[in-house]
Amino acid sequence: MKEPGTNVVNAAIIGASGYSGAELLRILSTHPEVRIRRVTAASSAGQRVDALYPALAGQCDLEYEELLPEKLSDIDVAFLALPSGQAMNIVPELKAKVPRIIDLGGDFRLKSPALYEQYYKHPHTAASLLESAVYGLPEMNRKAVASATLVANPGCYATSVILALLPALEHGIARGQGIVINSLSGVSGAGRSASVEMSFAEINENVRAYKLLTHQHIPEIESVLGGAFGGALSVSFVPHLVPLTRGIYTTVHAQLATNVRASEVVTLYQQYYATHPFVRITNSIPQILSVRGTNYCDIALYVDQRTNQLIIISVIDNLVKGAAGQAIQNMNLMFALDETTGLR
């Protein structure tokens, strides 16, 4: 493991003016082993970071720049916090300049270019890199992440769902068919761009479902869990927007495959995640306030004997464990740091 204070990691954040980019800045600015060298944002080039995000005053004195790959030769890791469809256009050139890349968007999460085009609504321009990209869920791919040069950070909804279901599917407690998932998300998950439907008047005192049957995290959830499960997997996933800034609240219903007591399921999950510091199995009903601003995922488990169902509730902060925090957790693994560094 890397000795503290030696060989500081030089980082760049590409697309640093959005919510995920700002969260990366917030966490990395106090990370003891990282120096943020460059932050790029085409629309904010020339503006100081603390002018756009006053909360970072005194923590970050950088200016946003335009992305010029030739200026990244001194960078050890680049975080890409860009809208869907942008990372794939710059990663091929970036790989020649930067040894480690972590993409917080969805461009490298799916192995199938056809599936990507179906759900993201545009063709993939760097399909040759899909197979080599490592899916960056540390609780599942810790060793692969450590040696990766391109990490696809998981989607926020997908993180909450996969962590909830992984032990039950791997150990044959739950069936892989007919899984029903309802997730509630704060509006920061939609990004920082202005739109009428994301305005205060539309969101406040309101709850609405969106992207029914078409959400891009559906194939991500099914392909990742299907690989772990070793068989076909089908989920019914309905995301909802709720009047919160940040947080995801996920409830999963899965048919039990064995006769099992709730206490046995809890024990299984506690053992499964015993070596994973950011997953907490709780005996109380989880709440978003318990994970807000942290890299934790809290999970509670219930067995409904009447309907023969396993009910799982998981909560995360969509900007931390669902985005920037998980990306930094992956970076820590890639540079042989304790994976909790800067995240406690």
Contact indicator for 22, 82 with CB cutoff of 8 Å: no
Residue length, the chain?
A: 344
Q: Is 156 a catalytic residue?
A: yes
Pairing of β 297-304 and β 279-281: parallel
| Axis-axis angle for helices 138-146, 325-334 (nearest 10) | 40
Sign of CA dihedral 292, 297, 300, 303: positive
* Contact residues for 62 (Cβ-Cβ < 8 A; gap 6+): 36, 38, 39, 48, 49
Contact indicator for 342, 30 with CB cutoff of 8 Å: yes
What is the Cα–Cα distance from 132 to 111, expressed in whole angstroms? 9
What is the Cα–Cα distance from 136 to 144, expressed in whole angstroms? 9
How many helices and strands in the chain, by DSSP H and E? Answer: 10, 14
**H-helix segments, 62-112:** 87-94
Marked catalytic residue, from 110, 133, 156, 313: 156
Tokens at residue 312, please? 């799982």
Q: Is 204 exposed, middle or buried (0-12, 13-18, 19+ CB in 10 A)?
A: exposed
Instruction: Name residue 151's beta-bridge partners.
Output: 102, 134
Q: Which of 21, 98, 30, 31 is nearest to 59 (CA)?
A: 30
Residues with a catalytic annotation lie at 156
